[in-house]
Amino acid sequence: MPTSGRTRIKDLLDVERLDNVSNPVAVNGWVKTVRSSGGVSFVQINDGSSLADLQIVVDASCPDYALVGNLTTGCSLTVFGVLQESLGRGQKYEVVASSLEMLGGADPEEYPLQKKRHTLEFLRELAHLRPRTNTFGAVARVRNAMAFGIHQFFQQRGFLYIQTPIITASDAEGAGAMFRATTLDLDNLPTQAGHVDNDADFFGRPAFLTVSGQLEAEIFAQAMSDVYTFGPTFRAENSNTSRHLAEFWMVEPEVAFCDLDGLAQLAEDFLRGIFAHVLETCPEDMAFFNRFYDKELIATLEDIANSDFERMTYTEAVRLLEESGESFEFPVRWGADLQSEHERYLTERKVGRPVIVTDYPSAIKAFYMRLNDDGETVRAMDVLVPRIGEIIGGSQREERLDVLQRRMVEAGLDDAPYWWYLDLRRYGTTPHAGFGLGFERTVQFATGMQNIRDIIAFPRTPRSAEF
Ligand code: ATP
Ligand code: MN
């Protein structure tokens, strides 16, 4: 079984000239379809390296010809053969097999992925097999390219990639409901004066899965200036929407010596850069999404990559919504948070491009966002894109110790666990800012997929943690 001598199907399909190929080649893959006519069989195989399958031609001259009868959709295969220009239509090259070896069969009576198109809902129940479908292969490749593009974007600008903890003891960052991480025996909880004895828990106090790496990223920004995290975050919010997961990946740059305008520019350059990157590096997969999921997809992304984002304050956004004449499900009122329907109206209908909304009322935003001189609004920003709504949430951080402490009191927060966060304002404080980008929402936007559960390999949502 050759592993080292194996050639990826993509590399074969991409060759410019056949004389660059040292025939015979060895390829592996899983069978998509088998078709026979007039003593010749055509086997489409795919190894995940590209959207396109490789056609294997097997005829009576191949000593393993008899094996073709056993090949069915889903079985795995090693093929030796000669890459040649395809005689048939639909592909440039094909491999004429000189030998075949079936590695693992897939009983056609049982294999759940049949040739027909399956619904995305059905495939969610088969998360162990769905990567073999065109759609999920394409999602996996685009997701990979975007993750790489994100690192490349920051690395080229000198940002330091840092890793922040997944388990945290700060229980009120204000970003969302948390999962508790505990080793206590839930059937037999130790108690102390009628309450759970947290001292008996692993960390000697309650601990949780993080909702954001921001606070720790701020520590590093206050030493390294430009940093970013890219890691998993967890939110125990019971929102069964097409845009929420209980476990998702977040990209969080944090920049010292930077105000909100600088941050908004970074967010814009960043989104435009990664959309340009995915169009450039995944042309086939993107053409596939454009064809099957959203006919406007590539045009929309090209547009975004090439045009400025609109900017408006929250107060302006509220005025535009009030003047819109739309009947929204949630009423529009200065002081209330923008709902998804409001966000989508602004970006889809009003502006037709991504919109950066800034300066939200302090009452609806987190304690660490920098208070404006009006005393009512904070230097927050949300980046809104068509179809998804919010894709980025960020802010300039409150760098003034006294204001921050006052805000924590107003938010009803005990500042003791945040002693280190406050220290950053005591010693060499700087204006600084950062944002969080939901990675799955971004891939969802870039692929035109309707549901975020089809963007992450193994989605965690309320009442669902299979695989
Ligand atoms: P939303 O209002 O859409 O629930 P949020 O305001 O709670 O989002 P932030 O705390 O600002 O979100 O998080 C930063 C980014 O993380 C969001 O802009 C979004 O892209 C992403 N995000 C937030 N919650 C989720 C979730 N449950 N699943 C997937 N992505 C999420
Ligand atoms: Mn937000």
Task: Compute, in angstroms, the gap from residue 305 CA to the centroid of ligand 2.
Answer: 23
173 lines ligand 1 (CB under 6 A): no
Q: Is the pLDDT of residue 406 over 90?
A: yes
Please count the helices (runs of H) and the strands (runs of E) in the chain: 12, 17
Instruction: Find the 382 Cα to ligand 2 centroid distance in Å.
Output: 6
pLDDT exceeds cutoff 60 at 147? yes
The average pLDDT across 178-205 equals: 95
The predicted structure's pLDDT at residue 1: 44
**Residue keyed to tokens 């379809």:** 33
Using the predicted structure, report yes or no on whether residue 170 has a pLDDT greater than 90. Answer: no
> What does the pLDDT read at residue 415?
87
For 277, which DSSP code?
Answer: H
Residue 232 Cβ contacting ligand 1 at under 6 Å: no
Average pLDDT, the chain: 94
Crossing angle of helices 419-426 and 214-224, rounded to 10°: 30
Q: Find out whether the beta carbon of 436 lies less than 6 Å from any atom of ligand 1.
A: yes
Whether pLDDT at 450 is above 90: yes
The answer to whether 381 and 248 are in contact (CB under 8 A) is no
CA 376/CA 362 separation, integer angstroms:
6
Segment 2-12 shows an average pLDDT of: 78
Pocket test for ligand 1, best of 179, 242, 243, 455 (most atoms within 8 A of CB): 243
**pTM given for the model:** 0.95
pLDDT of 108 > 80? The answer is yes
What is the reported pLDDT for 5?
67
Q: Please state, in angstroms and rounded to a whole number, the distance separating the CA atoms of residues 102 and 166.
A: 43
Is there an atom of ligand 1 within 6 Å of 434 CB?
no
pLDDT of residue 6: 78
Is 52 a pocket residue for ligand 1 (Cβ < 6 Å)? no
Which position has the token pair 């990664």? 274
| Candidate from 390, 449, 451 with most ligand 1 atoms within 8 A of CB, to mutate | 390
Tokens coding 328: 């929204």
pLDDT in tens, 44-58: 999 999 999 999 999
Q: Work out the pLDDT band at 62, boundaries 50, 70, 90.
A: very high
State mean pLDDT over 345-372. 96
At 285, give phi and psi (nearest 5°): -65, -40
Residue 3 has pLDDT above 90, yes or no: no
- Those residues whose C-beta lies under 8 Å from the C-beta of residue 339, and which sit 6 or more positions away, are 328, 329, 330
Q: Does the pLDDT of residue 174 top 60, yes or no?
A: yes
Is the pLDDT reported for residue 427 higher than 90? Answer: yes
In this structure, the residue with its CA closest to atom 23 of ligand 1 is: 438
What value does the mean pLDDT take over residues 101-116? 91
Mean predicted confidence (pLDDT) in 194-216: 94
**Beta bridge partners of residue 97, listed in sequence order:** 81
Question: Does the CB atom of residue 236 touch ligand 1 within 6 A?
Answer: no
For the cut 60, the answer to whether the pLDDT of residue 275 exceeds it is yes
Judged against a pLDDT cut of 60, whether residue 243 lies above it is answered with yes
